[in-house]
Structure 1
Amino acid sequence: MTTAATPPLRGVDFTSRPTPRKPVTLAEGRLIGDVLRLERLRALPDEAAFAASLREPGPWLGGFDLPFGLPRELVTALGWPATWHDLIAHYRTLDRAEIRATFAAFCNARPAGAKFAHRACDRPAGSSPSMKWVNPPVAFMLHAGVPALLDAGCTLPGFHAGDPTRTALEAYPGLLARELLGARSYKSDDRARQTPERLLARRDLVDALEQGRTRLGLRLKLTVAQHDTLVADASGDRLDAVLCLVQTAWASRQPRHGWPAQVDGVEGWILTA
């Protein structure tokens, strides 16, 4: 077992419209051996704070809970640019109403049960299609997040070569949460749904991460205060950021960050899928 520390690691629970009440949440940590130590949790209450965090000097490797690409099937059907840089340049010129209308028209023309186009990584990850505009609005998360990463000069492996000391990858906390909890829900932004059952699920999830009971083979090291903070956060935002951090820690030691040998250059890949 290696005991060398990795560069500083980040996990980011993203929202396309951050506010002080619902900020972007950033978890920072460091991996030594097989132990991932959570060093800090930060709330980024607006787009400017998020952009500033991306420009903080490296080295750092971050896993971001937002899609970095669109389904190839969708892009081809719409006649949009077939290379990632040109596609993102086009996508960022659209407003959210245009995105919603375009994607809704695409879905309305398709049969029931096959409304959305999916990326190759969506089904193994269990993630929502990146063209979905509601519950969760991941299409808008891509629209807000990827241009911010590019404007900050970050490197997005497989997509864009920027500053090699500030590297961003696509993470998805639900993948790791389902491995440990199955179908149990552990969070809700709706106060009426913040139940004792979800509190217990968060406690079980945090305990499993601390004990290293995942296929990633890493143990999360928390202080008592950090443990209590993660369990108490009924929205799950802090816990989701930590789940992204764990995925990023695993990826930091994998060839190609754990990506398969063949990945579609428009779609990308989700860590640990």
Structure 2
Amino acid sequence: MPGAALPPVLGCDFSSSPSRRKPVVVAWGHLDAEAGTVALRGFERFATLAQWQDFLQQQPAWVGGFDLPFALPRELVMHLGWPRDWQACMQHYAGLERSEIRALFKAFCDARPAGGKFAHRATDWPAGSSPSMKWVNPPVAWMLHAGLPRLLAVGADFPGLLRRESSRVALEAYPGMLARELIGRRSYKSDDRQRQTPERTAARQQVLDALLQGAHSLQLRLLASPAQLGSMRDDASGDHLDAAICMLQAAWGLRCHLQGDALYGLPPGTDPLEGWIVTAPLSRA
């Protein structure tokens, strides 16, 4: 796409039950592939899922990294006898009440031995992500249930899962993966005020320093204003920082696409029912 205007890159820190106190946060910016930079243009906050969906629908083009699972483990889908086609499976899942989902998932877990209660996707191990069927701590099953149908509804293209002729491209992102690369297992955020400590603020600053320098595996430098940096450092929930990391992960995928990779950096042979988290390696380092 030499000479073509690149679409904006988005990063979304998602909540399945957003509110004014805990909104969905979207970072948006622009990739300069030649310079290896991503300029953060701003943040958007949405107190309802409808507002978030409307925003995505109103933008004519974007490549977005979304911090929510895009699929369920194949093992679970096969066990439940659900459709093996990804879109049909997601439509079936979206049509169920959460109480039904919880009962089905709990019965699946109860029948399995301790230490192996949950089924995992192949991408979970290298990414270090929670199983997408988990309904508590964190409730990622509800994030999938609330968010994925809305991404389908805005007509997004899903590399590795569902290809559409669309100028909106949705990639599953996971900010914790890059954060762990930079600060190990140190905690950098908490929604609990009692745990919003100076040590976590310092950890967020350390992550930001590395992003500004491009000193990480994505090899992209974040460009941000002092006010934007302050927002990411001072948001003790980590939502603004996580959104910016997801934006960088989306930008990495876009850069791969510009280099000729139709899958935006996802590995060839990705399970078309499970998908893959953008920037996750094929195996745990």
TM-score range, shorter chain: over 0.9
Please state whether the residue corresponding to 1:253 is helix, strand or coil: helix
The residue type paired with residue 22 of structure 1 is K
Mapped contact 1:116–1:131 kept (Cα < 8 A): yes
Please state whether the residue corresponding to 1:264 is helix, strand or coil: coil
Residue among 239, 262, 266 paired with 2:273: 266
How far is the alpha carbon of 1:15 from its aligned partner? 0.5
Number of the residue aligned with 2:129 = 127
Q: Deviations over 1:131-180 (max 9, x none)?
A: 00011101010001111111122222222344511111100000011010
Please state whether the residue corresponding to 1:252 is helix, strand or coil: helix
Q: Deviations over 1:196-245 (max 9, x none)?
A: 11011001111110011101111001111111110000000001000100
How far is the alpha carbon of 1:18 from its aligned partner? 0.9
Residue among 252, 255, 268 paired with 2:254: 252
Please state whether the residue corresponding to 1:55 is helix, strand or coil: helix
2:28 is equivalent to residue 28 of structure 1: yes
Instruction: Give the stretch that moved more between structures: 50-59 or 13-22.
Output: 50-59
Count of equivalent residues: 272
Please state whether the residue corresponding to 2:58 is helix, strand or coil: coil
Root-mean-square deviation (CA, aligned residues, Å) is 1.4
2:122 is equivalent to residue 115 of structure 1: no
Please state whether the residue corresponding to 1:18 is helix, strand or coil: coil
How far is the alpha carbon of 1:58 from its aligned partner? 2.1
Please state whether the residue corresponding to 2:41 is helix, strand or coil: strand
Residue correspondence of structure 1 range 187-266 to structure 2 within 5 A: 187-254=189-256, 255=261, 256-266=263-273
**Distance in 1 (alpha carbons) for counterparts of 2:109 and 2:120:** 12
Residue among 183, 187, 191 paired with 1:181: 183
Mapped contact 1:38–1:221 kept (Cα < 8 A): yes
The residue type paired with residue 271 of structure 1 is V
Number of the residue aligned with 1:11 = 11
Mapped contact 1:36–1:249 kept (Cα < 8 A): yes
Instruction: Give the stretch that moved more between structures: 248-257 or 4-13.
Output: 4-13
Residue among 124, 149, 152 paired with 1:150: 152
Residue correspondence of structure 1 range 159-170 to structure 2 within 5 A: 159-162=161-164, 164-170=166-172
How far is the alpha carbon of 1:57 from its aligned partner? 3.0
TM-score where L is the length of structure 2: 0.93
Question: What stretches of structure 1 move > 3 A for 4+ residues in a row?
Answer: 2-6
2:70 is equivalent to residue 63 of structure 1: no
Residue among 90, 95, 98 paired with 1:96: 98
**Distance in 1 (alpha carbons) for counterparts of 2:148 and 2:162:** 11
**Distance in 1 (alpha carbons) for counterparts of 2:5 and 2:89:** 37
The residue type paired with residue 259 of structure 1 is L
Please state whether the residue corresponding to 2:6 is helix, strand or coil: coil
**Distance in 2 (alpha carbons) for counterparts of 1:126 and 1:57:** 32
**Distance in 1 (alpha carbons) for counterparts of 2:162 and 2:3:** 31
Consecutive unaligned residues of structure 2, counting only runs of 5 or more, are 281-285
TM-score where L is the length of structure 1: 0.97
Identical residues among aligned pairs (%): 56
Q: Deviations over 1:81-132 (max 9, x none)?
A: 1111111111011111111111111011000111110000001000000000
